[in-house]
Every structure is written in C-alpha cells, then in structure tokens.
Amino acid sequence: MPRIQQSVEVNLPVHVIYNQLTRFEDYPRFMRDVELVQQLDDTHLHWKAKMADRDMEWDAEITEQIPDQCIAWHNMSGPKNAGRIEVQPAGADTSRVTMTMDAEQGQVPGSSAGGGDNEMSQRLADNLTRLKEFIETRGSETGEWRGEIHDAQATGADGDPVGKPSTDDR
C-alpha cells in the first residue's frame, strides 16, 4: 500500500485548526467528493464519498487523537486506508498541517480506479488547500472536542472514559 504525505501552512494557531479537525461532519465542506461524514461515537465515523467514479461508503475507527497534535485512523470496512493528520506550530499564529495516508491506488475519494501515487498525492494536496481556505476564511473553528483517544479508547478532557458524545460535546 503506497504512503502519501502532504503539508500546508495555515495562518491560524494550532488549537483553532485542531478544533476544526475534530468536527468531522464538516469534512465534506473542504474534502472534494466526500458527501457525508457521520460521527457514530467518539471513535467511529461513517463516510460516504465518490471513489473511482462510483459511490462508496465505509466505516473508520479513530485510533489516536491528542489535542493540538494529531488524529489517526484506519478504515474498518470499504476501501483499505489508514492515516494521520498532524498539526504543529510553524510561527506566530501559523501552523503546519501534515496528512499522511496509506491507501491502495484508487482509494482516495475522487481518484480514478488504478490512479497512481501522483494522482493520490495531488488529491491530498488539493484537500489540504481547501481546508486552509475553509478555516482561514472563517477565522475560527466551527466547534471542538478536547478529549483524547489512545488505542481506539476515548477519554474526556479530564482523563475520564467517555461514551457517545452528545451534540453539545462534539
């Protein structure tokens, strides 16, 4: 499975970008060809997208989530992929967002069947640019979740185990 990695600098502090990244339901607003992301509980997501010119659905599990640092996942069904998105300071009120994905060719939303590593890399770069534009235009996040996930087990901001988030929590 090829590994692709892309980065973008965003003119906002780390915590604003990280908080936006925890709002999975907003991913279709900056990820081309992603139609829906539904948060099922703290560690599980359901995705709908167009892949290789066909409609696809899959479930993913968040395996790691550390406030102001990273979110990592792997797919539990559908296309085989896993990834990690990291946010790091890059200067005063500037952050670097780096996304790394391990995905079979044609398994990045919008890529064509048999699409090569270059196509997947370009798709990832385009989505990061759209994230940058989305959040810089707003100037703030649409919400936040400050809990942590380690080994697919969630804890709240206070370190206590948590269950399914309410609409107020996520």
pLDDT of residue 103: 81
| Rounded Cα–Cα distance for residues 40 and 100 (Å) | 23
pLDDT of residue 31: 92
Look up the CATH number of domain 3-151.
Answer: 3.30.530.20
Q: What number of CA atoms fall less than 13 Å from residue 73's CA on the CB side? A: 23
| 15 and 68 Cβ atoms separated by less than 8 Å | yes
| 135 and 12 Cβ atoms separated by less than 8 Å | yes
The structural domains of the chain, with segments of one domain joined by +, span 3-151
Per-residue pLDDT 10s for the chain (170 aa) are 688 999 999 999 999 999 999 999 999 999 988 999 999 999 999 999 987 778 999 999 999 999 999 999 999 998 888 999 999 999 989 999 999 999 875 555 544 544 566 888 888 999 999 999 999 998 778 877 888 899 888 887 655 555 544 444 44
Where does residue 25 fall: left (phi above 0), alpha (psi -120 to 50 degrees), or beta otherwise? alpha
Residues near 48 by beta carbon (within 8 Å), at least 6 away in sequence: 34, 35, 36, 37, 55, 56, 57
pLDDT of residue 63: 96
pLDDT of residue 123: 87
pLDDT of residue 168: 44
| 94 and 10 Cβ atoms separated by less than 8 Å | yes
- Residue at token pair 């770069």: 125
| 10 and 135 Cβ atoms separated by less than 8 Å | yes
What's the pTM value of the predicted model, to 2 decimals?
Answer: 0.81
